[in-house]
């Protein structure tokens, strides 16, 4: 078996946190009924707010889990809260002793309330590769059966993979425990309250996540993944909220490509930066050579195993927004479950509609088969690509210094927009999400150390600008079409680009004229940093944005690693 029970993990039981002890006691209560995925499906169909649509569930998934052959996709509709609530998070290990005591008492009280409801639990395995598997148990009320079903769909039910799990290597990690109680009541101002109290209690050192007063499935999914990513960090791996694919050139029609063998490329970016477009593109806008083959590990979550130099997937499904999927979109074929979708009567059938008709952030659980050929492990990445909407950056940069490379990932940014009704000054301020992972619950320096190790082990680092490049101002931009970025991706994979120094940012490089104009005619002059209009204003903004990056990292917990912090800050110094 892979992860360890509490009894196995804690040689001294006094090392267990009270939060885990409370969760463990509930998990082992004889009144908590264990359910499988089929039972959870039947319960979910009867749950208020759930509509049984006439959209058939993906047939291969039905067969795999012995669900009814006529199983239809369920649509679980919520109320006011339609997404994750960061303000509800309380990090147990960041609190002082008085606040810890308070949280422990309030959690005990919540469990006491919870035990007045019929309770169920499900067991799943996180990790698709036999060498990285962690057991997780989810305990909730029968009134939360839809989330139980979705959770078992999103991960892998233990009973469907039990033999592989029991023969997988033992890891120095506790089993994960997830607890949810939607009906929680509490009027304490210590907790987030939006008409009802909410608490996402995080005990990352003891692998416990608690959702109180929170219905949204994404809290369960990302809470569970947070524990998985953190577990990987604890055993020396790099946690990745990103997509990765592997291209095999060994059977290309042109034998000149055979020398590349198999190459993996990973993408890290916030919403709208092109992470899925880069990961899931079939042939990079037709630029990959004939005869290539592609497999996708995942488009959202994986772990880089530095010791064995491979990447491993955590989940067998995708959790996608559906705002751009019309009724006739081919992706519906792979649908397993829906959240917050409008349902229309079309020719006498209940048909779910994407397009965010009912509310923002409509979501679907989709089978990974949508990606085409997929694998549970792939090669160590040749390239890590930070995707950013930063108008001062050329369409692509390569970093020849590891500290600059990792600093750019640690200061991965986005910007506010005018739709958010903020001042012009606020619009100038960058918003940072290191490595595009809002689910990091441990110190930033741990991610920085992990990615420095990834680069030391041979990965190259790049940055793609997916917004547009300064033309005359920050509002008047030279467009960077997706096809251009996909072409650049292929050029990276096939070593077609030669590089020259970007004089404004030491140790960053841009493509040479001779190499890039063969691939994208006219690229060099169109995107040459020295051809920007209002060049002085451009340089002023460039300097400001990199100073904001430096200020962010200077104020972070990288202070605990002063040598690393200094190296990253020095690397971000522009020459203007």
**Tens of pLDDT, residue by residue, the chain (576 residues):** 699 999 999 999 999 999 999 999 999 999 999 999 999 999 999 999 999 999 999 999 999 999 999 999 999 999 998 888 999 999 999 999 999 999 999 999 999 999 999 999 999 999 999 999 999 999 999 999 999 999 999 999 999 999 999 999 999 999 999 999 999 999 999 999 988 899 999 999 999 999 999 999 999 999 999 999 999 999 999 999 999 999 999 999 999 999 999 999 999 999 889 999 999 999 999 999 999 999 999 999 999 999 999 999 999 999 999 999 999 999 999 999 999 999 999 999 999 999 999 999 999 999 999 999 999 999 999 999 999 999 999 999 999 999 999 999 999 998 876 555 667 777 789 999 999 999 999 999 999 999 999 999 999 999 999 999 999 999 999 999 999 999 999 999 999 999 999 999 999 999 999 999 999 999 999 999 999 999 999 999 999 999 999 999 999 999 999 999 999 999 999 998
List Cα–Cα distances, 501 to 22, 423, 494, 510, 529, in angstroms: 57, 36, 20, 6, 11
Q: Do the domains spanning 6-51+81-236 and 242-299+380-571 agree at the CATH topology level?
A: no
> Which CATH number, 3.40.50.2300, 3.40.50.11540, 3.40.449.10, 3.10.105.10, labels domain 6-51+81-236?
3.40.449.10
Q: CA-to-CA distance for 523 and 191, rounded, in angstroms? A: 53
Evaluate the CA torsion angle 29, 34, 40, 43 in order and state its sign.
negative
DSSP 3-state of 503: coil
Give pLDDT, residue 422.
60
- Of 67, 167, 186, 74, nearest to 125 by C-alpha is 167
Give pLDDT, residue 417.
66
Q: CA-to-CA distance for 116 and 26, rounded, in angstroms? A: 12
Environment class of 315 (CB within 10 Å of its CB; exposed 0-12, middle 13-18, buried 19+): buried
- Of 412, 437, 8, 377, nearest to 225 by C-alpha is 437
Residue pointed to by tokens 């690397």? 571
Please give the DSSP secondary-structure letter assigned to residue 514: H
Task: Provide, for the chain, the percentages of residues in helix, strand and coil under a 3-state DSSP scheme, each rounded to the nearest 5.
Answer: 35, 25, 35
Domain positions in the chain are 6-51+81-236, 242-299+380-571
- Of 345, 341, 338, nearest to 358 by C-alpha is 341
Question: Would you give the distance in Å from CA 37 to the centre of its chain?
Answer: 24
Q: CA-to-CA distance for 460 and 462, rounded, in angstroms? A: 7
DSSP 3-state of 197: strand
The enclosing H or E element of 140 equals strand 134-141
- Look at the chain and count its residues: 576
> Which CATH number, 3.90.1150.10, 3.40.50.300, 3.40.50.2000, 3.90.228.20, labels domain 242-299+380-571?
3.90.228.20
Orientation angle between helical segments 402-410 and 444-456, nearest 10 degrees: 140
The enclosing H or E element of 229 equals helix 217-234
List Cα–Cα distances, 352 to 71, 75, 331, 337, 341, in angstroms: 15, 8, 13, 11, 6
List Cα–Cα distances, 430 to 298, 411, 426, 529, 541, in angstroms: 28, 10, 8, 21, 12
Give yes or no for a contact between 290 and 252, defined as CB atoms under 8 angstroms apart. yes
Give pLDDT, residue 477.
98
Q: CA-to-CA distance for 306 and 454, rounded, in angstroms? A: 7
Sheet containing strand 302-305, strands side by side: 238-240, 302-305, 310-313, 377-379
- For every residue of 377-426, DSSP letters joined together read EEEPEEEEEEEE--TTS-SEEEESSHHHHHHHHHT-EEE--GGG---HHH
- For every residue of 47-109, DSSP letters joined together read STTEEEEEEEPPHHHHHHTT--TT-EEEEE--SS--S--GGGEEEGGGS-HHHHHHHHHHHHH
DSSP 3-state of 523: helix
Q: Which two tokens stand for residue 266?
A: 């990973």
Q: Which two tokens stand for residue 56?
A: 């058939």
């Amino acid at each position: 078996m892979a992860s360890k029970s509490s009894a196995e993990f804690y040689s001294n039981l006094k090392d267990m946190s009270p939060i885990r002890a409370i969760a463990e006691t509930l998990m082992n209560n004889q009144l908590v009924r264990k359910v499988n995925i089929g039972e959870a499906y039947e319960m979910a169909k009867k749950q208020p707010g759930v509509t049984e649509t006439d959209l058939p569930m993906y047939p291969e998934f039905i067969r795999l889990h012995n669900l009814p052959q006529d199983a239809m996709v369920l649509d679980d509709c919520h109320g006011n809260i339609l997404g994750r609530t960061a303000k509800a998070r309380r990090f147990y290990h960041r609190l002082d002793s008085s606040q810890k005591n308070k949280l422990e008492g309030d959690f005990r009280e919540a469990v006491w309330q919870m035990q007045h409801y019929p309770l169920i639990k499900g067991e799943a395995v996180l990790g698709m590769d036999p060498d990285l598997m962690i057991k997780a148990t989810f305990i909730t009320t029968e009134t939360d059966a839809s989330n139980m079903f979705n959770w078992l769909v999103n991960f892998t039910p233990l009973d469907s993979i039990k033999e592989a799990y029991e023969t997988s290597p033992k890891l120095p990690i506790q089993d994960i425990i997830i607890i949810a109680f939607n009906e929680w009541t509490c009027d304490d101002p210590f907790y987030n309250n939006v008409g009802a109290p909410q608490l996402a209690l995080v005990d990352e050192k003891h692998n416990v996540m608690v959702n109180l007063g929170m219905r949204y499935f994404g809290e369960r999914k990302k809470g569970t993944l947070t524990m998985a990513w953190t577990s990987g960090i604890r055993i020396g791996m790099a946690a990745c909220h990103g997509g990765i694919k592997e291209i095999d050139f060994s059977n290309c029609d042109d034998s000149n490509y055979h020398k590349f063998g198999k190459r993996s490329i990973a993408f890290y970016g916030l919403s709208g930066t092109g992470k899925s477009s880069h990961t899931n593109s079939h042939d990079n806008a037709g630029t990959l050579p004939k005869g290539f083959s592609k497999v996708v590990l995942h488009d959202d979550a994986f772990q880089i195993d530095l010791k064995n130099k491979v990447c491993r997937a955590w989940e067998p499904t995708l959790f996608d927004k559906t705002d751009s999927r019309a009724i006739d979109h081919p992706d519906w074929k792979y649908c397993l479950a829906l959240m917050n979708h409008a349902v229309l009567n079309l020719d006498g059938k209940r048909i779910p509609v994407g397009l965010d008709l009912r509310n923002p952030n409509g979501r679907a659980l989709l089978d990974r088969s949508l990606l085409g050929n997929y694998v549970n492990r792939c090669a160590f990445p040749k390239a890590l690509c930070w995707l950013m909407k930063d108008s001062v950056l050329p369409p692509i940069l390569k970093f020849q210094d590891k500290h600059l490379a990792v600093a750019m990932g640690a200061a991965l940014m986005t910007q506010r927009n005018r739709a958010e009704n903020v001042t012009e000054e606020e619009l100038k301020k960058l918003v940072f999400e290191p490595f595009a992972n809002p689910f990091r619950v441990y110190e930033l320096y741990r991610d920085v150390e992990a990615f420095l190790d990834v680069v030391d082990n041979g990965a190259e680092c790049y940055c793609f600008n997916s917004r547009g490049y300064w033309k005359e101002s920050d509002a008047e931009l030279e467009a960077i079409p997706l096809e251009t970025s996909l072409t650049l991706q292929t050029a990276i994979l096939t070593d077609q680009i030669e590089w020259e120094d970007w004089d404004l940012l030491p140790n960053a490089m841009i493509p040479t004229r001779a190499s890039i104009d063969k691939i994208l005619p006219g690229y060099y002059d169109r995107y040459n940093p020295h051809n920007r209009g209002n060049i002085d204003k451009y340089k002023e903004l460039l300097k400001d944005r990199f100073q904001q990056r430096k200020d962010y990292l200077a104020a972070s917990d990288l202070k605990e690693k002063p040598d690393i912090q200094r190296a990253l800050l020095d690397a971000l110094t522009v020459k203007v």
